[in-house]
Amino acid sequence: MTQYSSLSTVKPLSINDLSAMKRRGEKISCLTAYDASFSMLIDSAGIDMMLVGDSLGMVIQGHDTTLPVKMDDMVYHTRCVSNARRRAFVIADLPFMSYATPLMAAENAARLMQAGGAQMVKLEGARTDCVAFLVDQGIPVCGHLGLLPQSINQLGSYKVQGKERVEAEKILADAHKLEQAGAGLLVLECVPAKLAGDISAQLSIPVIGIGAGIDCDGQVLVLYDMLNIGVGKRPRFSRDFMQGAAGIGQAIAAYHEAVKQLQFPTPEHSF
């Protein structure tokens, strides 16, 4: 509790701080968060970013996919998280079909920032039209490539993306397009470690991996997975940080340290 109180005088991180971390080679730690209590614990551990993910549809609401998540859900949970944080950079997902057009994307992103307190919004796929429009309105954007959970009905299953050469080349090209459109961050999910490393090296913006190997600029995990309290099977790319920990706060701190010291992910958590 003392550690958390000391954070009350700490200035929140900005996208410029995260970019500086990439330039100096410091790994960025990120976890998903959905409420004030976990937000406080994550912030106290020194985690650099919190992602209010539409994964809440699965780990909080009990759905099989992220598709049922509504804008009202995202605004509510983002506000809960941003109310309690002091230092960590807060990103919020734009849920399924909330960015079908650039104007719709801007209106919904504005809600996440004004009512939710998010500092950046994340959207899936190479939607450069939406990214460029949002950036023009002064809205910071995080891209998301590789496995796209909102496209599960097209993909058919949650599986590694970019294993074939043509597919890998498209992901790499899309990453460059998103950066050129103005994206300030990029999440790569479930792609081969070599591809993720190449993208991280070629882009000037920070690249955050989940199931994408050690060479990304940072790592993100679903909070409930790394605490081993998820309703489903823990993904191969995750790790149970509760093992050997005296409590949740210690497990989160261990994850943060493992990312910073390049001890996570290991090859067994990569593709």
What's 131's domain CATH number?
3.20.20.60
Which residue in the list 107, 189, 257, 268 is annotated as catalytic? 189
Tens-level pLDDT at each residue, the chain (271 residues) = 334 444 557 899 999 999 999 999 999 999 999 999 999 999 999 999 999 999 999 999 999 999 999 999 999 999 999 999 999 999 999 999 999 999 999 999 999 999 999 999 999 999 999 999 999 999 999 999 999 999 999 888 889 999 999 999 999 999 999 999 999 999 999 999 999 999 999 999 999 999 999 999 999 999 999 999 988 789 999 999 999 999 999 999 999 999 999 999 999 999 9
Q: Tokens 């479930």 sit at which residue?
A: 190
Specify the number of domains making up the chain: 1
How confident is the model at residue 230, as a pLDDT?
80
What pLDDT sits at residue 224?
97
| pTM given for the model | 0.95
164 belongs to the catalytic site = no
* Residue from 198, 194, 199, 210 nearest 175 by CA: 199
- Structural domain including 263 reads 2-269
Q: Minimal CA–CA distance to 43: which of 6, 86, 79? A: 86
Give one word for 262, left, alpha or beta, with left for phi > 0 and alpha for psi -120 to 50: left
Q: How much is the pLDDT for 5?
A: 46
